[in-house]
Copies of this chain bind each other. A is one copy, B any other.
């Protein structure tokens, strides 16, 4: 493809707009996480990126699209970070331990958008709402399968309730750690795995 000065200018403009779009999505994720989708206005989002609300529509189609983009992108990236771990060839218990760490690591560096994915995607409508429901199921099944294999091959407890154990693992993964300064995310993952692995009783 030829990049003459006009195309180059067009590409630059596209790049600028894509950057702006990214800023807007990041600002929206922060505000949606704090005030909820309906509690954060286009005015609020504009203010956070130094634009008047009308100018936002140069970069995004409407408010719903912002939510779709945040939730969809976050779900896709979380999946990309965790699914390779769970689909690898390894001991199920090792895969689960590492998947927990991968999920928590992703969550700790995407706190706002992860919160939106968890608690605000219910405000999606139509197709996007269906997509995210299906995504959630697929993501659960990914974990479920690893637990299932683990029980069948004796790597995990034989008498384990597989669905319940999967729920508990996902709960540990989705638990909003206050990712504080005193301990890095990896350590949080290790502590949670230690409780889940060995249980509460001696």
Contact = CB atoms under 8 A, between A and B. Distances in A.
Interface of A: 35-39, 93, 96, 119, 123, 150, 154-158, 160-161, 164-165, 167-169, 171-172, 175, 177, 188, 191-192, 194-202
A157 B197 CA distance: 12
A168 B195 contact: yes
Most buried by B among A39, A150, A158, A202: A202
Nearest to A173: B171
A37 B202 CA distance: 44
A37 B123 CA distance: 12
A165 B38 contact: no
B160 A200 contact: yes
29 contacts: A36-B37, A36-B39, A93-B200, A96-B200, A119-B119, A155-B201, A156-B200, A156-B201, A157-B201, A158-B202, A160-B195, A161-B194, A164-B188, A164-B191, A164-B194, A164-B195, A165-B195, A167-B177, A167-B192, A168-B168, A168-B172, A168-B175, A168-B192, A168-B195, A171-B171, A171-B172, A196-B199, A197-B201, A199-B199
Given A156-B201, A164-B192, A195-B196, 7 more contacts: A36-B37, A93-B200, A154-B202, A156-B200, A156-B202, A164-B195, A168-B168
A198 B198 CA distance: 6
Contacts of A171: 168, 171-172, 175
Contacts of A156: 200-202
